[in-house]
Structure 1
């Protein structure tokens, strides 16, 4: 399974503001299964979409 980062938001946003959650919610309304994860190394919230990678057929 692979992840595609749609957008990143700094973790230090204004109190009561959730821009990553709002962005992910708007994508979900469009039918994109987006979710928010925290990237501790960069101190940012990432909006990601997980995609299944095709399985290889062994011959």
Structure 2
């Protein structure tokens, strides 16, 4: 039987949704993190009106 370890999201960086360049800076940051081996992705936090770059962290 295999058991999956629980995961948690870690916020790597936050970007305001109203940035003049839109989501480009957050997409560029996430791509740079992926280039360095971090499984980073972009999500939108509607409550704070921010784009977040998050990575899953496995809890031990």
Range class of TM-score, shorter chain: 0.7 to 0.9
Instruction: List alignment gaps of at least 5 residues for structure 2.
Output: 1-6
TM-score between the two structures when normalised by the length of structure 2: 0.81
2:55 paired with 1:53? no
Task: Give the alignment's TM-score, normalised by structure 1.
Answer: 0.82
The structure number with the bigger radius of gyration is: 1
RMSD across aligned positions (CA)? 1.4
Among 31, 36, 42, which residue is 1:30 paired with? 36
What stretches of structure 1 move > 3 A for 4+ residues in a row?
none
